[in-house]
Structure 1
Amino acid sequence: MKISQLYIYPIKSLRGVSVPQAILTDAGLENDRRFMLLKVKQDGNGNKRLQNMHVPHFTEMCLFLTDVIFPTENTNNGKILITYRPPDAKDDSDSQIKLLEVPMNPDVSGLEELCVTIHQSPTKGYNMGTKYNNWFSECFGYEVVLVYLGPHWRRVLGSFPPGKCQVHCQDMVPVISKSSMVILSLLSLLLNIFGVPMMQRDASMMALPNLAATITVIGLATVTNIYLSRGSRRKEEKITFADTAPYMLVSETSVEEVSSRLAGDEEMDLTKFRPNIVVTGAKAAYEEDFWAELLVGGGARLLMTANCIRCQSVNVDYATGKMGRGESGSVFKKLMKDRRVDKGAKFSPVFGRYGFLDQGCKDVPICVGDEVHVSRIVEERTTYDWPGLTN
């Protein structure tokens, strides 16, 4: 198999950017989902609160196209280019089309800090201010705030992290922690101190009990540490404004199978699945449900931990900014017939696989055309386990 397409989503739930290459980080592809939009809502008393915006609930978000200008070497001049194209725009010269540039890595000094919680995993972000908020608000027709993640990140919950996923946690190599080493040293010292009187009674018998006791302590400390530090080889997993994992992978073979369910010559738009990595060459549709580990390009390793449960976003018509009609609006229903295959989400169809970058692969570049090898599979599908999202 090979990578056929790579996508980043600079602003969550807006249209993505197809890129020829990308940098793997522990929080996802570089520059992926570091911005998001919040709708300003008011209650009857005039109090304002902020609501996360996701494309299945705000379908008009798909009318915003994004592109990127990556920074030149040793500079911070990267930009996100946003184009709002309403459905009745006739051509590129239509006055309804609006353009905006957002700095890829803005200066956050002086910006208001906001709390943002996505699927029960909280973080902080920065309100980008009037210039950007007014532009989006004018396009949407209601008040909107653009938020930048900055140096913050979100925790990965449930059994999604490799260190907690049943498939991978058994492979985590236990490491003796510094605290265990300190305790072990103190115990060994005490044994040697209290062992000294033995010399006065029988010097020939001193070495054996002390050695046995020391070995016993080492064994107990090590065994105890195995249970306490299982999975501690990995640091706490990080995600940006992505839903539940840093990487989303789909197979073209599976996308083609979805297209075969649509009448006429209509084809499934794979970008509606919002993948980061698209692979071609899989022998069977949905075989990725069982992928546990992938080797990508020059040696990057992805640990696959969960299948992606899908929502009505796959029915959105990107041309109209509304839920699709006819075949394009029936994809979710068609998948519901036989793709409810996850025991942790019995009433949601599965499509695509979530993954995490293995340790030691950080900042490795990958490119379209890179080979992809499945280095490990599982016999049974993993079970979706994220607090508050199972059904």
Structure 2
Amino acid sequence: MNHLYTYPIKSLRSVPLTTALLTPHGFPYDRRSMLIKIHPANGNPVPRSKSHLIGNLENMTITYYPELALFLQSIDEEKGVFTVTYCPPDGEKKSLEIPLEPEVSKLQAIDVRLHNSPAKGYKMEERVNAWFSSCFGYEVMLAYLGPNTRPVLGNLSPNAVQNKSAGSKSWLSSVASRLPNLTGAKVQEEDGVTFADLAAYLVVTEESLQDVSSRFSDGTKMDVTKFRPNIVLSGSKKAYEEDYWGCITITSNSKATEIVLTQNCARCVSINIDYNTGKAATGEAGNALKKLMKDRRVDKGKKWSPIFGRYGFLKAASEGDGRTMTIAVGDRVEVSKVNGEHTTFGKSLDWQGTVTLLIIE
């Protein structure tokens, strides 16, 4: 286990962790908040993404709002806050402290929806919304999930009950809503997700990251956080070996738990962003997506998108809860199930994983 990351506000910069609590809904604080642009109510909104527009409210993601990369995040659990620091390339930095767990009884309840997956949320207090609005130069609000989660569409989770939500214009939700149970795992509680796109966890490897860097002729090193992972592993025999992983077992302090890897993560132009400027990168780094298009379109269900990383969920325990455990950088990870073929986004795979002896750290 090389790196662990969480993202308190969706699409802002990552927070590196040395330890993290595994829960069915992801790491604590991971993407429990999301910025929303408020378009004028009496006009015709001109959103950057129509699929993210609900009424006059537009979900802000780094794919369409690359300037989100200019916001750093850090967590102080002792104080119960996280700090957001705005770092414009040609201006002064400024910071804001936000409670990790705001008192929702004092906040306005709102309905939120991401990729056609709805949830109840809360509009953060005015001082927070005004601060972000001053950074962007237009009105925004910060939506907080509180104790709520969004339903996982279409049984992307191996533990979920079949979701019957209607489709949507979003490619993520239109495909995810058709996903069957991929593992045959025992059905227990339905796993919810936060404002992460589709799953509780995203797993990538250093070996695959090195392959991306090797494609840049100018010596550029790819920043792994552009792929927005939660867990970064090393020790694979070759790049993209994780394409076939069906399950990993993490052992920490003599305790073990499993993360079932159900689907591939299809990539978009967000990996081309320069995090220092909040704009599309120039040079080789600005062509990262194009370079992966050459040979990484390996998922027949997303044939126009290159694949990097695997979506995962905690496997349901056979007895009791047993689905929370603290893990740490340096923990041992075993690839405990391997698929005989690539998974296809939107289709099931006969879940006959085989045990492998591969051990990665």
**Which TM-score band (shorter chain)?**
0.7 to 0.9
3-state SS of 1:327 partner = helix
Match in the other structure for 2:351: none
3-state SS of 1:168 partner = coil
2:183 paired with 1:168: yes
Shift of the alpha carbon at 1:330? 0.2
1:72-83 equivalent positions in 2, closer than 5 A:
77-83=79-85
Q: 1:127-155 CA deviation, whole Å, 9 max, x = no partner?
A: 00210000000011111100110011111
Distance 1:122 1:267 in 2: 37
Distance 2:138 2:239 in 1: 42
Q: 1:171-206 CA deviation, whole Å, 9 max, x = no partner?
A: x3xxxxxxxxxxxxxxxxxxxxxxxxxxxxxxxxxx
Distance 1:311 1:238 in 2: 24
Distance 2:42 2:107 in 1: 28
Structure with the bigger percentage of helix: 1
3-state SS of 1:344 partner = helix
Distance 2:143 2:155 in 1: 28
1:45-56 equivalent positions in 2, closer than 5 A:
45=43, 49-56=56-63
Distance 1:314 1:138, change over 3 A: same
Shift of the alpha carbon at 1:277? 0.3
Q: Which amino acid aligns with 1:320?
A: T
Alignment counterpart, residue 323 of structure 2, candidates 362, 371, 374: 362
2:270 paired with 1:313: yes
CA contact (8 A) 1:12 1:242 kept: yes
Match in the other structure for 1:66: 73
2:117 paired with 1:102: no
Distance 1:110 1:100 in 2: 19
Match in the other structure for 1:274: 228
3-state SS of 1:301 partner = strand
Distance 1:46 1:112, change over 3 A: farther
Match in the other structure for 2:340: 379
1:150-161 equivalent positions in 2, closer than 5 A:
150-161=146-157
Shift of the alpha carbon at 1:325? 1.4
Distance 2:224 2:217 in 1: 17
2:285 paired with 1:325: no
3-state SS of 2:153 partner = coil
Match in the other structure for 1:241: 195
Alignment counterpart, residue 18 of structure 1, candidates 16, 19, 41: 16
Match in the other structure for 2:240: 286
Distance 1:110 1:43, change over 3 A: closer
Shift of the alpha carbon at 1:46? 7.8
2:337 paired with 1:341: no
Q: Which amino acid aligns with 1:260?
A: S
Shift of the alpha carbon at 1:166? 5.3
Shift of the alpha carbon at 1:8? 0.4
Shift of the alpha carbon at 1:300? 1.4
Q: 1:86-143 CA deviation, whole Å, 9 max, x = no partner?
A: 1124xxxxxx211100000010113111111111111111000210000000011111
3-state SS of 1:158 partner = helix
Alignment counterpart, residue 2 of structure 2, candidates 1, 4, 7: 4
3-state SS of 2:132 partner = helix
Distance 2:58 2:226 in 1: 22
Distance 1:130 1:149 in 2: 17
Q: Which amino acid aligns with 2:262?
A: T
Q: Which runs of 5+ in 2 are unaligned?
A: 46-54, 163-179, 348-361
Alignment counterpart, residue 255 of structure 1, candidates 209, 219, 230: 209
Match in the other structure for 1:179: none
CA contact (8 A) 2:157 2:181 kept: no
Shift of the alpha carbon at 1:6? 0.3
Distance 1:268 1:5 in 2: 15
Shift of the alpha carbon at 1:343? 1.1
Shift of the alpha carbon at 1:159? 4.1
Structure with higher RCO (Cα < 8 A, 6+ apart): 1
1:177-188 equivalent positions in 2, closer than 5 A:
none
CA contact (8 A) 1:167 1:292 kept: no
Q: Percent identity?
A: 47
Distance 2:312 2:81 in 1: 27
3-state SS of 1:124 partner = strand
Match in the other structure for 1:28: 26
CA contact (8 A) 1:11 1:36 kept: yes
Distance 1:43 1:128, change over 3 A: closer
3-state SS of 1:245 partner = coil
CA contact (8 A) 1:159 1:385 kept: no
Distance 1:261 1:46, change over 3 A: closer
Larger CA deviation: 60-69 vs 123-132:
123-132
Alignment counterpart, residue 143 of structure 2, candidates 147, 150, 172: 147
CA contact (8 A) 1:302 1:355 kept: yes
3-state SS of 1:255 partner = helix
